[in-house]
Structures are given as C-alpha cells and as structure tokens.
Amino acid sequence: MPDRHASTATRPLAPAPESAGVPAGAPAATQRVQVLLPLPLTGPYDYLAPPELSVTPGSVVVVPLAQRELVGVVWDAPADSAAAAAKPVPLAKLRPILESLPVPPLTPVARRFLAWVADYTLAAPGAVLRMALSSPSALEEPKPVTLYQRCDLPPSGGVPQDRRLTPARRRVLAVLADGPARKLADLAAAAGVGTSVVKGLVAAGAVEAVEVVAEPRFPPPDPEAAGPTLSDRQAEAARALRARVGEAACGEAFSVTLLDGVTGSGKTEVYFEAIAEAVVGGRQALVLLPEIALSAQWLERFERRFGVAPALWHSDLTSAQRRATWRAVALGHAPVVVGARSALFLPYPDLGVIVVDEEHESAFKQEDGVTYHARDMAVVRAQLGGIPAVLVSATPSLETLNNVKTGRYQELHLPERHGDAALPAIGLIDLRQDRPPKLEGLGPGWLSAPLRAAMAETLAAGEQVLLFLNRRGYAPLTLCRACGYRLQCPNCTAWLVEHRLAGRLQCHHCGFASRLPGACPGCGAEGSLTACGPGVERLAEEARVLFPTARQALMTSDTLTGPDSAAELVRAVQAREIDLLIGTQIVAKGHHFPYLTLVGVVDADLGLYGGDLRAAERTYQLLHQVAGRAGRAEHPGRVLLQTAEPDHPVMQALAASATQAEGRDRFFEAEAAARESAGLPPFGRLAALVLSGPDARQLDEVCRALARAAPQVAGVTVLGPAPAPLAVLRGRHRRRFLVKAPRGFRLQALLRAWLEQVKLPNAVRLQVDIDPYSFL
C-alpha cells in the first residue's frame, strides 16, 4: 500500500527534475498544482508546490492528507473537468507538497491512459493510479551497497604492500581483474575464499570498498542473435510486423494486427521479430500472456532467441522483484517486459510495441477492483502511444474477428503447422451410443470404449495421452443416497467439491473447506454420501484401474502450486517420464509435447451451457486449444471428443476444422449472426451492475430504488434486478442489472447519470462491469 512510513520522509530531498511546472516570472510560492492520489476519490486534490520543489505534471510526489503522508502524481486535469468547475479551495488553505520522489515523471501517454481506463470502466482515477504505483518501495532510490574492486595498481604490478601474496589472495585479485566490482560475499564465493581474505586485501591497500547506488537493470536482448530460419510465410508475416514497429519509431503509427495462425504454426517465432525490431530501435516491448506463471516453455524460447531473460511481471513476484522490475521499467532499463494484464500499467518511458498472446483468453479480463479487459486496454494504450499492437491467437475472439472484418484491424495468416507436423484428426464420440461402461467397485465410468481403445493403442506405441476435463477435484457434487441432501457451501450458492487428494470438501468460490462428514448432515444416515459426476481426480482413479502401468500426472491448479512445479511437470512430460496426463484448462495453454499423440476430451459439452453469451465461443476456443496439444512434432496426433450433442455447431466446427479452416470460419459466422440478431457484443454493448450486501432486505430496497431511477432511453434496455446466479457469495447476497445498448452508444455517461441518483448505504457494494465476461 502506498501509505508511507514517517521515516522515509526524513531522507534528504532528491534533486528536483528539470521542470516546466513553474511559469517563468510567476510568484513561485503560490503555485497551485493538482495531485492525483491512489484513493477511490472522484479526482485530484489541490496542493501548493513550494518553489524549491519544481514539479511537473507526472512528477511522483509525497503529500499530506489528514494525518497521513501519501504518494501521488502531479496531474494536469483538463480545464472542463468537474474538479476545475467546482469552486477552488483558497490558496491559503492548501497544504504544500512535501517531497518529489526520485523517479521519472509519468509520461503524458501513461497519464492519459490512466484517465482513459478510469473513464471507460467507471473506476475512480485514483484506483487506476494505484495499479500503476503498485510497488511503493520502487519510488525510492535503491539503498547504496558496498562493492569491492581492485585499487588502481602501483607500478610494481599490484602486489600488496605487506607482500604476502598468498594463493587465496591471488584468486581474489584474479576474480576482480576480469570482472566488475562485487559484493563482499559474492567476491569471496567467486574466489573460493573466506571474507577475511578480502578484508586483508583491503587493509593491504590492494582492494577498496566503494559505496554505489545500483539501479536494477535487465540485460539487453540481442536482436541479431540467430532465431530459427523462418518459412516463407512466416518470414512474410514477420516482415510485415517489423515494418509496423519500424514505422512507429518514425512517428505516430498506431495499428492493430491480428496474427492468426493454427496452433504450432510459429506465431511466437514471428512476433519475436516484432520485439527484435523494437529493441533495435531502442524502444521497449511488452508481451501480455494470459497465464504468466505457466509460461516456462515460452521463457525458454525467449532466452534461446535473444540470449537473455525478459523482465517478468505477475502476481507471484516477491516485493523485491516487483520493486526492481518497476524501477527498471521506469528508468528504461527493461527492454522487454513479459507480464500478466497488470503489466499494462507499468511506467514505460518509451513503449514501441505491445503483443497480446492468446488474445481470446478470458483470463485477460480482470474481474475485481478495476474491471478491465487487458486486450482491449492494450489496444487503447497502443493508440494513445501511436504504436502497433499485435493480437495473437489460433482462435481469435469474435470481437477481434469482427474488427478485422470491418477493417479496423489488419490481419496476418499462418495457415499451416511448422515443418511436417500435421493438424490432428478430430473425431466425435457420441455418448448416447457409446455409454462409458461401469467399473467394478468404482461405480459409473467416464471413459467410453472407443476412447479406451485409442488410449490402449497410444500407450502401447510408447506415446503419450492427455485426458482433458475442466473440473478440479474428485467430484463436483456430493449427495446423500438416503435423503437426497446435497452438500452446499455455507457462504455461497454453490456445491462443495470433494478433493480426495487433499481429504476435504472445498468451495471453489470462497475457499471454504471442511472434512467429508461420516454421516449425512440432513438425515444422519451413515456412509450414505456418494460422489456425483467426475472431476480429474476421479478420472485418474478410473485410468489407474484401466491402465495400471501407465505413469500418470495430474495437471490442475491444485497440483501446480507455482511456476516451479509447473516447469518441473512440463520437463517430466517432455522427458517422457509421464505416459498419461490428466488435466484441466491449464493443459490447454501453449505447451509443446512432441510425443503427445492422443487427446481425449472427457466431457466436451461441459462449457456449453450456463447463461454465458460466450459459452459456445469459449468451448470452441478451449477445445481447439486442447486439441492443438496433440501431434505437434513428427508424430501425427488425434483428438477424440466425448459429447452427447455431436450435432451442436461447436462440435461440428471442431470436427471439421481438423481438415479445413472453414469449419472455424463457418462456426464464427453462425455465432456472429446469432449475436448480431440478438444485439449482443460485439454488435451491441453490455454493462453489468452487481450489487451485494449482507442483508437481503436492504439490498432489495436499494435495487428497487435503482430500478425506479433506471434510464428510459430509446434503444437501451435495463434488465433486472435479478438474483445473480451466485445469489450468495462469501455470505453476501448479490443482485444483478444488465444494461444493453446499441454499438457505439456512450454507455458510461448514461450509467454515471443513473448511479448519481441513488445513494448507496455503506453496507451495499456496487461493482460496475463494462463489457462483462462473467455472468455469475
């Protein structure tokens, strides 16, 4: 949090940045400036800029607020803003800025971006600023460290005056001779000596200790380092991207390009060229990935291509890593940043290109706090910065495809897999005909005879199998055979999911956990609770019975606890220490397993229903991605989808697209037509309001008041209030409004005017979600 410790305020003032903040000749002491604070306020507050602290818009400063000291940013609000229209606080009442922090001011583009995001999402500007100032300690200069280096040598050749040049001392001097100054412990370790040897050399005058302030710095990637030789098509796409990045270096050159290519077509290699071009031009590159913690393979490839690791930005970083990365970015010492969505808000001084990989992924949508879609905001950031954005996917979102169709976005195609790798053949297994047989002692089975046969064949050939089921745990529902009682979360409208490996029941929404009771809580019957439906753990059990010698691994967010365990599992699969991988959507993400030749999708229909307007699109994308894991090298792959609805357009499109890209195009055209006729995104606009509170009666009262004030505007429909599908979450009741408007309608202005009319009690929270992706 950006609250400051009093102690930091006692540090000597940093040299003021060169400033245009104080107009020449103006009485400097009366300078009024606006400072945006990282708080949920409506706008910036006024402060006095003391003459000795010449600040400029974007300067990061410390100001007093009530009894606190806060870090904020000097703002330049447009003249017509609400803050400017209100009667200004008299100068005499203003408090002075205390300090200007030693970081470069936020650039005008960065400031406009923050304001834009706040305006679009209806978030407080300060809440967006808070995302940009996410590493408070990075705003201070690093503490000096003591490093040891060789003294300028006397003509005698550097022999210490006490002349005892032992082998240990010689090693220390040798290390310093061909390396930079080092910390005491590092130097001693590198020379293989104790620290006293180094101190002895200092005493002897051969080595000196120096205090330095070392700013974090990521080594520059080598853009000339040899990448793979690109195929003609790849080279053509790479050339086009490089040209766009090059144009941006010469001035305003905003563009959005969709890099659309089947899985394994080399999209990554191609956009690496765009990054190389930015690096050549001395500008920064940003790559957004949906699951940065699972990107070990991606990082390896980056290092192979560029010789160094990029700067990483995601929520698993330590605070020291965050601090170093934030500062390195701000100072222009991080040429390439790879991150999750929040990496958009880092203080880039000179961004040259943004790549959004797997642009269709819903993980780019942030659902709490400031609700924004990182892909869409990446495009906004590119536009404000006058630079190219590159959106990458094998299954682009309908939004992006529509933007290509209407000519707003350009498109580059990679229609073939690289090398000889063929696209996998996709077959449908009709579960109505091929019912999975029961298993002795285990009850119902989930693997049909044709899938079992394919697994047996693949395993016998020494190749790998992936079973995909997007359900964590052992069983999604536990019920009593005697009375029908279902085990439900006490805090949420949700069933408890049995996690047998962990020995617990768990709520996937609030984290509530308990032991599986011995008797039914409803009727008290002993041993009557049974697991309903499969989760990956139950599937693993079935597979163990059917294929007892196959070496299994589970790949879910429960078994992969961080980047290290993910990297270890990926390694084990690549080293063929695993025969059978059973996983949730985590396995769908970009992994390249050359010996994986069979993918079995256990329940292809799982995502099709549930009131989500993108259900079909998402199911298509997810299953297509999973299918893309099969046969990525010289071994041809196949995919079997178990479905009870083989005629569903999604299943038909998947089965067809194995042989032709038209399957995909036909599906998206049909889906687009359906959305267009219903006025749904991307052909219409949506916003969701979710109100929540501990007291259902009070909540309903507020909702009724809102409904009465609902806007009556032609073309705009307000649906609700209705209980949200998750009607209770973490003990809070939830109600939803959904607002539908035509494309191009200024929804934000309408919502602001509406919400201003109703005062919410403190206990009721309102979440505004523009372009919602979750309908829970």
Please, which residue, 592 or 734, has the CB nearer to Zn ion?
734
With contact defined as beta carbons under 8 Å apart, do 735 and 699 qualify?
yes
Please, which residue, 216 or 266, has the CB nearer to ligand ADP?
266
| 495 is a contact residue toward Zn ion (CB under 5 A) | no
Region binding Zn ion by CB under 5 A among candidate stretches 293-301, 427-435, 482-490, 702-710: 482-490
Please, which residue, 273 or 771, has the CB nearer to ligand ADP?
273
Nearest Cα neighbor of 77 from 114, 48, 127 is 114
Distance between CA 720 and CA 710 in Å, rounded? 10
CB of 266 to ligand ADP, least distance (A): 3
Which residue from 206, 248, 507, 570 is in contact with Zn ion, where contact means CB under 5 A? 507
Distance between CA 24 and CA 3 in Å, rounded? 34
Distance between CA 347 and CA 330 in Å, rounded? 5
282 contacts which partner out of Zn ion, ligand ADP, none, CB within 5 to 8 A by kind?
none
Please, which residue, 338 or 539, has the CB nearer to ligand ADP?
338
| 491 is a contact residue toward Zn ion (CB under 5 A) | yes
CB of 649 to ligand ADP, least distance (A): 25
| 492 is a contact residue toward Zn ion (CB under 5 A) | yes
Q: Is 35 helix (H, G, I), strand (E, B) or coil?
A: strand
| 726 is a contact residue toward Zn ion (CB under 5 A) | no
CB of 521 to Zn ion, least distance (A): 16
Q: How far is CA 193 from CA 150, 225, 578, 753, in A?
A: 16, 37, 43, 71
CB of 261 to ligand ADP, least distance (A): 5
648 contacts which partner out of ligand ADP, Zn ion, none, CB within 5 to 8 A by kind?
none
Please, which residue, 449 or 502, has the CB nearer to Zn ion?
502
Please, which residue, 641 or 690, has the CB nearer to Zn ion?
690
H runs (alpha helix) in 461-586:
536-546, 563-574
Please, which residue, 135 or 234, has the CB nearer to ligand ADP?
234
Q: Is 47 helix (H, G, I), strand (E, B) or coil?
A: strand
| 497 is a contact residue toward Zn ion (CB under 5 A) | no
Please, which residue, 198 or 729, has the CB nearer to Zn ion?
729
Distance between CA 212 and CA 215 in Å, rounded? 9
Please, which residue, 298 or 773, has the CB nearer to ligand ADP?
298
CA dihedral sign of residues 382, 385, 388, 390 = negative
Distance between CA 553 and CA 641 in Å, rounded? 21
Distance between CA 446 and CA 441 in Å, rounded? 14
With contact defined as beta carbons under 8 Å apart, do 650 and 620 qualify?
yes
CB of 395 to ligand ADP, least distance (A): 11
582 contacts which partner out of Zn ion, ligand ADP, none, CB within 5 to 8 A by kind?
none
With contact defined as beta carbons under 8 Å apart, do 129 and 94 qualify?
no
666 contacts which partner out of Zn ion, ligand ADP, none, CB within 5 to 8 A by kind?
none
Region binding Zn ion by CB under 5 A among candidate stretches 141-149, 172-180, 330-338, 511-519: 511-519
Region binding Zn ion by CB under 5 A among candidate stretches 67-75, 96-104, 507-515, 687-695: 507-515
Which run of H or E residues covers position 643?
A: strand 638-643
Q: Total binding residues for Zn ion by CB under 5 A? A: 7
| 489 is a contact residue toward Zn ion (CB under 5 A) | yes
Helices 398-405 + 662-678 axis angle, to 10 = 90
Tokens 């979360």, residue?
Answer: 489
Query: Which stretches of the chain bind ligand ADP, using CB under 6 A?
Result: 228-231, 234, 261, 263-269, 418, 592
234 contacts which partner out of Zn ion, ligand ADP, none, CB within 5 to 8 A by kind?
ligand ADP
H runs (alpha helix) in 122-179:
125-132, 167-177
507 contacts which partner out of ligand ADP, Zn ion, none, CB within 5 to 8 A by kind?
Zn ion
| Chain centroid offset of residue 128 CA | 16
405 contacts which partner out of Zn ion, ligand ADP, none, CB within 5 to 8 A by kind?
none
266 contacts which partner out of ligand ADP, Zn ion, none, CB within 5 to 8 A by kind?
ligand ADP
CB of 118 to Zn ion, least distance (A): 31
CA dihedral sign of residues 667, 673, 675, 681 = positive
Please, which residue, 224 or 316, has the CB nearer to ligand ADP?
224
CB of 421 to ligand ADP, least distance (A): 7
With contact defined as beta carbons under 8 Å apart, do 270 and 257 qualify?
no
| 775 is a contact residue toward Zn ion (CB under 5 A) | no
Instruction: Fill in the DSSP letter of residue 145.
Output: E
Nearest Cα neighbor of 591 from 305, 361, 298, 302 is 298
| 509 is a contact residue toward Zn ion (CB under 5 A) | yes
Which positions from 610 through 649 interact with Zn ion, judged by CB under 5 A? none
CA dihedral sign of residues 326, 330, 331, 332 = positive
CB of 774 to Zn ion, least distance (A): 16
267 contacts which partner out of ligand ADP, Zn ion, none, CB within 5 to 8 A by kind?
ligand ADP
| 776 is a contact residue toward Zn ion (CB under 5 A) | no
Phi, psi of 368 (to 5 degrees): -125, 165
Which residue from 330, 338, 454, 510 is in contact with Zn ion, where contact means CB under 5 A? 510
Please, which residue, 9 or 225, has the CB nearer to ligand ADP?
225
584 contacts which partner out of Zn ion, ligand ADP, none, CB within 5 to 8 A by kind?
none
Region binding Zn ion by CB under 5 A among candidate stretches 385-393, 444-452, 488-496, 666-674: 488-496
CB of 730 to Zn ion, least distance (A): 7
Q: How far is CA 532 from CA 169, 487, 518, in A?
A: 71, 11, 17
400 contacts which partner out of ligand ADP, Zn ion, none, CB within 5 to 8 A by kind?
none
Q: How far is CA 332 from CA 283, 295, 336, 368, 508, in A?
A: 9, 24, 10, 30, 41
Q: Is 502 helix (H, G, I), strand (E, B) or coil?
A: coil
Q: 267: which strand partners?
A: none
Distance between CA 395 and CA 614 in Å, rounded? 13
CB of 585 to ligand ADP, least distance (A): 17
CB of 228 to ligand ADP, least distance (A): 3
| 237 is a contact residue toward Zn ion (CB under 5 A) | no
| CB contact set of 654 (below 8 Å; sequence gap of 6+) | 426, 604, 620, 623, 624, 627, 641, 663
CB of 490 to Zn ion, least distance (A): 7
List interacting residues with Zn ion (CB under 5 A): 489, 491-492, 507, 509-510, 512
